[in-house]
């Protein structure tokens, strides 16, 4: 039986014959299928210090890709040739943090072992997921350099609360998966960190750019300079984008919002500048809580961050 207007099944979406949306370039991973970008959700936020439903972000950001096209007016290029393979979401345990950390790390390694893609995007979750993810890249790809966009150092002690979304980089440094001289923090915000944690970063040799440093210079120049420095000493570079680096006016859907952060344009330009170099193989996007968002502003910005990374 055929229908003229009735369309049982998936939701009907308007289609313009000349327009390709970004989500149309996404395929589910199957054995033997290859693509340029590997996408994996790390939907865990129970380790968050703030009340958070960031575990819902992978699906929210995926949906946001459907709002945008593959055509760049600024570059006058249509990136329809870029294919994204979606590996789905890693499994998590409802109560066991250590078991979940192990499962997330194993899931990232399984994606890398498939050797189906040349670059990768990980969608958190809170920032705690960066510990197992970066650890997996260290195991599979060698010495990792990290550019971290963040309002916070995320090197809290683990005695006061165990592993949380405030401890991933302390965990990485203390486990040996990351060296202090290979970590660059960008956008660290005033009145948002304890003195002890700034001192800890200094002792570890971490390179820190505060918002005052960003305002005094050019964020794209900072990124390019640090990429060139890291290239001399690491095997692969990983970008870790905590969305609370952005001012609350542009990213209201973060558990730890605050004033005085980056503009959305500064974030997009700096991620694009970093992503141009072939040594950059992965990026995670964390701390988007759809339940706190307004009109999907933060998820849509996260989708644009993905696009700046993907479309070079």
Indicate which CATH number applies to the domain containing 215: 3.40.800.10
| Domain extent for 234 | 22-310
pLDDT tens per residue, range 32-57: 999 999 999 999 999 999 889 999 99
pLDDT interval class at 13 (50, 70, 90)? confident
Residue 244 is assigned to a ligand binding site: yes
Tell me if 9 is assigned to some domain.
no
Tell me if 13 is assigned to some domain.
no
Task: Please report, rounded to a whole number, the percentage of residues in the chain having pLDDT higher than 90.
Answer: 91
Tell me if 3 is assigned to some domain.
no
Token duo for residue 51: 């009340």
Cis bond upstream, residue 96 (ω within 30): no
Residue 152 is assigned to a ligand binding site: yes
Residue 77 is assigned to a ligand binding site: no
Nearest to 287 by CA among 237, 248, 230: 248
pLDDT tens per residue, range 156-211: 999 898 888 899 999 999 999 999 999 999 999 999 999 999 999 999 999 999 99
Measure CA of the first residue to CA of the last residue in the chain; give whole Å. 46
pLDDT interval class at 79 (50, 70, 90)? very high
pLDDT interval class at 239 (50, 70, 90)? very high
How far is the C-alpha of 126 from the C-alpha of 263, rounded, in Å? Answer: 21
How far is the C-alpha of 89 from the C-alpha of 41, rounded, in Å? Answer: 4
Q: What per-residue confidence (pLDDT) applies to 7? A: 63
Tell me if 136 is assigned to some domain.
yes
Q: What is this structure's pTM? A: 0.96
Q: What per-residue confidence (pLDDT) applies to 6? A: 67
Q: What per-residue confidence (pLDDT) applies to 172? A: 98
Residue 190 is assigned to a ligand binding site: no
Tell me if 252 is assigned to some domain.
yes
């Amino acid at each position: 039986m055929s229908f003229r207007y009735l369309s049982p099944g998936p939701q009907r979406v308007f289609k313009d014959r000349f327009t390709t949306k970004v989500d149309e370039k996404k395929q589910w991973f199957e054995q033997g299928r290859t693509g340029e970008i590997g996408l994996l959700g790390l939907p865990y936020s129970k380790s968050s210090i703030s009340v958070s439903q960031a575990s819902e972000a992978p699906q929210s950001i995926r949906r946001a890709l459907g709002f945008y096209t593959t055509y760049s007016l600024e570059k006058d290029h249509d990136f329809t040739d870029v294919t994204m393979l979606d590996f789905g979401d890693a499994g998590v345990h409802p109560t066991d943090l250590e078991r979940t950390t192990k499962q997330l790390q194993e899931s990232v390694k399984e994606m890398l072992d498939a050797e189906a893609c040349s670059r990768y995007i990980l969608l958190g979750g809170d920032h705690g997921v960066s510990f197992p993810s970066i650890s997996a890249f260290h195991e599979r790809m060698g010495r990792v350099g990290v550019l971290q966009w963040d309002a916070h150092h995320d090197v809290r002690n683990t005695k006061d609360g165990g592993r949380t979304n405030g401890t991933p980089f302390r965990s990485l440094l203390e486990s040996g998966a990351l060296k202090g001289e290979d970590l660059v923090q960008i956008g660290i915000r005033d009145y948002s960190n304890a003195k002890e944690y700034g001192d800890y970063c200094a002792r570890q040799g971490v390179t820190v750019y505060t918002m005052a440093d960003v305002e005094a210079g050019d964020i794209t120049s900072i990124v390019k300079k640090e990429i060139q420095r890291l290239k001399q000493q690491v095997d692969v570079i990983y970008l870790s984008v905590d969305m609370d680096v952005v001012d609350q006016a542009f990213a209201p859907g973060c558990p730890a919002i605050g004033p005085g952060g980056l503009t959305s344009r500064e974030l997009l330009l700096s991620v694009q500048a970093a992503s141009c170099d072939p040594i950059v193989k992965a990026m995670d996007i964390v701390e988007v809580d759809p339940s706190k968002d307004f009109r999907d502003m933060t998820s849509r910005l996260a989708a644009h961050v993905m696009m700046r990374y993907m479309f070079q």
